Amino acid sequence: MSHPIMIRTFADEVKGIPGGEHLELCYSCGTCVSKCMIQQKVEPDYNPRRLLRLAMMDMKEEAFESPTTWMCSECDLCYQACPQEIHISQVIAAVKQLAVDAGYTSPLTPVSVDEDLCSGCGICVMVCPYEAPSLFDKDLNGELDRLSQVDANKCMRCGTCVGACPLGAIAREGISNTDIQLQIPSEAMSIPDIITFVCDWSLREDADIQILERYPAHQVNVVHIPCTGRIDPQHALMALDSGVKGVLVCGCKPGECHFKRGNHVASCKLGLLDTMLKQIQPPHKEIRFVQIGTQERGRIRHEIDGMLTALTDNKEAK
């Protein structure tokens, strides 16, 4: 005998959406909250456990207004850790879908597309892990022009599209091409040995970030990016051109990317760049891509020290 699902409460609505079924299995152990890095790094009110609880207790408005609903980037680190095997990101996605249907909008500022520059090539559509950009035809004085537009409720601001756009038509505050170029030292006096592009999520501990900051400016210069998917090979090449000896890109371990697959995009790009560099064989120059896991506390020190010694050894040998 089949039991028809009676939708009476908000919890029922959430459970009725594929992915939301296991909502009520949560016994509030808090594993998801501490596995996720958003609360520690960005938003103190972010708490998936509490969002599930809000949904369970039918507190609809509060659930829709909670930052958790809008900030979860579906990295699924919590799903792997959840002892009740609840696919938490899907439950959150179900709540988000209901919120969008109810007319709520994301408090996050999405990336913006400069329509004068956009050629409608569709690369952003391909690289986006969240299916936020889409192509549409705009009527310009009788002529149809194919352009990209970004769904504000889907964009998680990882910047993968910013790094991928061949015309620089997509921008996000803080990480547009000019912002990053400004961070790369160009004056001959202040050129460091290494430039590290560090994704905001790969270094879990404050201690690790402090390690980076402790290096003197003539040795290591740090450029913060939201995700290694934002890496533009141009920046690496510009840095090498200006006299930097090595470029270290630091991202998350495969499977642990905060933005689903930004690190995969980066490894594709950097793999190609590496092949290219090998053909040119520029003297004393190196690009490295390291992927640091959640438990690898202190590994960044080894990586940077290793690269510094490699570069100095290289120099002396030559």
User: Total residues contacting other proteins (rule CB under 8 A)?
Assistant: 26
Asked if residue 47 binds other proteins (CB under 8 A), the reply is yes
Among 1, 8, 295, 316, binds other proteins (CB under 8 A): 295
Angular region, 147: left φ>0, alpha ψ -120 to 50, beta rest: beta
Asked if residue 285 binds other proteins (CB under 8 A), the reply is no
| Separation of alpha carbons 49 and 26, rounded Å | 8
Burial of 180 (0-12, 13-18, 19+ CB in 10 A): buried
| Separation of alpha carbons 208 and 212, rounded Å | 7
Asked if residue 40 binds other proteins (CB under 8 A), the reply is yes
Asked if residue 85 binds other proteins (CB under 8 A), the reply is yes
Residue 180 C-beta: closest distance to other proteins, Å: 30
Strand, coil or helix: what is 201? coil
Asked if residue 254 binds other proteins (CB under 8 A), the reply is no
Nearer to other proteins, 12 or 205 (CB): 205
Rg (CA), the chain: 22
Asked if residue 203 binds other proteins (CB under 8 A), the reply is no
Residue 33 C-beta: closest distance to other proteins, Å: 4
The span of 82-90, 93-101, 242-250, 263-271 binding other proteins (CB under 8 A) equals 82-90
Residues 150-189 as x/- pattern, contact with other proteins by CB under 8 A: ----------------------------------------
Other CB atoms within a 10 A radius of the CB of residue 153 amount to 17
| Separation of alpha carbons 49 and 39, rounded Å | 12
Asked if residue 84 binds other proteins (CB under 8 A), the reply is yes
Asked if residue 294 binds other proteins (CB under 8 A), the reply is yes
The span of 46-54, 61-69, 109-117, 213-221 binding other proteins (CB under 8 A) equals 46-54
Cα angle, residue 44 at apex, residues 153 and 85 outer, rounded to 5°: 70
Asked if residue 34 binds other proteins (CB under 8 A), the reply is yes
Nearer to other proteins, 49 or 261 (CB): 49
Contact assessment for residue 230 and residue 269, using Cβ atoms and an 8 Å cutoff: no
The span of 13-21, 37-45, 97-105, 123-131 binding other proteins (CB under 8 A) equals 37-45
| Separation of alpha carbons 16 and 21, rounded Å | 7
Packing angle between helix 233-241 and helix 262-280, nearest 10 degrees?
40
Asked if residue 49 binds other proteins (CB under 8 A), the reply is yes
Buried b or exposed e, range 119-141, using 16+ CB within 10 angstroms: eebebbbebbbbebbeeeeeeee
Residue 197 C-beta: closest distance to other proteins, Å: 23
Contact assessment for residue 116 and residue 139, using Cβ atoms and an 8 Å cutoff: no
Residue 31 C-beta: closest distance to other proteins, Å: 5
Touching other proteins, residues 13-32 (CB under 8 A): 27-32
Tokens of 82: 């959840």
The span of 88-96, 162-170, 247-255, 295-303 binding other proteins (CB under 8 A) equals 295-303
Residues making contact with other proteins (CB under 8 A)? 27-35, 39-40, 44, 47, 49-50, 81, 83-85, 204-205, 207, 294-295, 297-298
